[in-house]
Chains A and B, each alone.
Chain A
């Protein structure tokens, strides 16, 4: 058998069927392609009817689009998952300790493990958080760690999403859809459940009551703050509020009343204890951050600092998932946990460094170059896939502001069989598991969101650029 350049999660490098896919393979061999094609259409109908759509930025017609869903599951063995989830836990623990340190004593800088300008000159660092003790000591209640699988048991972290990671509603709805469409597959495979995520989320959020105590009774009042119906992730905000059984609020529903953040109900203002906000830091409080923001609550930061509300994730966590900080993650993990990092970091050139910059400039065709503060796959260069013209144009941008960029080698993202016109074909994927953190511990939901680059050979999995999603199975071993 021929050896492939990329690790395929079903067939490995050498076309040997891997264990987690054994049952699936047997099932698939019995399946009729026409029936599967019908199922694929049925899945789309289900998604449309449920309203699992996202709004596309920069379009006036407020078009709602579906993220394409691929009906072939991605399967991970229980053993592989166990190792992975330990690595994720370690990383999230370290991120949280790092945040506490950065906003308090800054030991890591004093120890010379992180240059002070990485913090001082970083827009993601929030001076308003200096010396603030977040309720329960938790900064990152929810984290979505982006990983790629490059070989058996070999995972790299691409990005730690420690601000407001999105996509968990797709993890849940993808599973729901698969359960409806292929119940028989779940009978012959023992798949670990993800459906407790909303319950765990509510419990986890409720475990970090504000320092001044909950406003009424034992059970803290939780609410989800959304920028509103036109936000691209509005569906997810409504979905999570609905699944948790809590209110979905917007900035104009809230105001500060008697030192607490309260929501306008049909019977007057009711205080909130824990706010799961899906609004970025800078829009959170027009009195403390951007004065033109209509999305936040005037004075909420003052209430927060006084211990009157829990904000999840805490303001200022962006410093931990900043792309410039990323390259220091192995040091950060070691510094705070005293352990060797269990997960790999992708080697990263920081263009703020003259030597790194010189290397990157000469090797653009082989590298992936990202904006330090960018997200969503915008403003990046994928060297091997770019034309000469693209590269030349990008080089100009890079030379104008080197410190704004980092570069990484192109990774050999694993492939997973995906349903295409030609039947099953390998397509590249990444994985975003979702992690909950509370004073009671860290909980990693088995699975996560698998994003798949539906274009043959493409390595860009972002939904804004033609990516789709898959259900992700972690088997009980």
Chain B
């Protein structure tokens, strides 16, 4: 397998995952705006921060408005992480690695692109927004499903998964990074109405609201949410889940190829040092520092994978 192909697959799936995550962040932001609790503009700012696109927004647009934020996140060409740009980049990478994809995967990503271009050609009205976001998420899910259902379990597949889980871990990490203060233990046993909305928004943005309710009592609060998002291996968007997947993918890539590469060592370290503790230990360590360090390590991991597998010359 060519290093270039590994690179293309890795980024194709990172961008698909990012498109889906951004779509979900927009849904969450819109939801909070509708509850009219708290400051809607501040909420959109935190959505832009979670999506990692705040600096660009600030430069290009300045003031935060709902319409401005949604358009920036959804379809702006100046924002390389807008849903539209992500899907377009994913498809560009898919063309580059066309020979490494099954026909079904290629057609599903091409269909996602064609439909996104059509839907996002003009500003999306508030009324059409929920349907539009749902369709976009379904498209990315379809690509993932086709990948799962048709691709050989070999290096191609492992790189597609590495891209997916790195992006997903990064996304969950960023949401926690922006909202960590909401989750800090407080003297109050029961949160205010605003706290509740904030907690719910965090759960929604990682598609975990239902799952959380199922597994926890009704008075579960920030401590349980923190545990759920960082350490619970049942949640497919938790940090522990994603990093375990990364470890698994790297192991499979390395099977039968001698001593472990640096990237595998790095992911082992990430798990051992950060993701095997109790949640109280994380609070004691400092939630914010903890998340920041994980995000930095995830960045290092991307760099190391690129080196280990010769993405570039």
Please report A residues at the B interface, Cβ cutoff 8 Å: 48-51, 229, 234, 238-239, 241-242, 246-250, 252-253, 263-268
Given contacts A229-B96, A234-B95, A248-B99, are A264 and B110 in contact (CB under 8 A)?
no
Contact B98 A242 (CB under 8 A): yes
Check if A265 sits within 8 Å of B1, measured CB to CB. Answer: yes
Q: What residues of A have a CB within 8 angstroms of the CB of B2 in the complex? A: 247, 249, 253, 263-266
B residues less than 8 Å from A48 (CB atoms): 110, 114
B92 at interface by CB-CB < 8 Å: yes
| Tally of A-B Cβ pairs under 8 angstroms | 59
> In the bound complex, do residue B99 and residue A247 qualify as a contact, i.e. CB atoms below 8 Å apart?
yes
Chain B residues with CB under 8 Å of A241's CB are: 99
Interface size of B in residues (CB-CB distance below 8 Å): 22
Which chain B residues lie closer than 8 Å to A49 at the CB level?
A: 107, 110-111, 114
Q: How far is the CA of A242 from the CA of B104 in the complex (A)?
A: 13
20 contacts between A and B (CB under 8 A): A48-B114, A49-B107, A50-B103, A51-B95, A239-B98, A242-B98, A246-B99, A249-B2, A252-B4, A264-B4, A264-B313, A265-B2, A265-B3, A265-B310, A266-B1, A266-B3, A266-B309, A266-B310, A267-B310, A268-B310
- Given known pairs A48-B114, A49-B111, A50-B107, the reply for A264 and B99 (CB within 8 Å) is no
Q: Residues of A contacting B310 with CB < 8 Å?
A: 264-268
Contacts of B110 in A (CB 8 A): 48-51
- The CA-CA distance from A264 to B114 in the complex, in Å, is 32
Interface centre among B1, B95, B96, B99 (most CB of A within 10 A): B99
B309-A229 in contact (CB<8A): no
List 7 A-B pairs, minimum CB-CB distance, nearest first: A238-B98, A266-B309, A242-B99, A241-B99, A264-B3, A248-B99, A266-B6
Q: Is the CB of A238 within 8 A of B95?
A: yes
Is B11 on the interface with A (CB-CB < 8 A)?
Answer: no
Nearest chain A CB to B282 CB, angstrom units: 35
Shortest CB-to-CB span from A238 to chain B, Å, is 4
* Residues of B with C-beta under 8 A to A250: 4
CB distance from A120 to the nearest CB of B (A): 41
Which residues of chain A are near B103, meaning CB under 8 Å? 50
Q: Residues of A contacting B111 with CB < 8 Å?
A: 49
Cβ of A205 to closest chain B Cβ, rounded Å:
16
B44 contacts the other chain (Cβ, under 8 Å)? no
Which residue of chain A has its CB nearest to the CB of B308?
Answer: A266
In the assembly, what is the distance between CA of A48 and CA of B107, in Å? 9
User: Is B217 interfacial (CB 8 A cutoff)?
Assistant: no
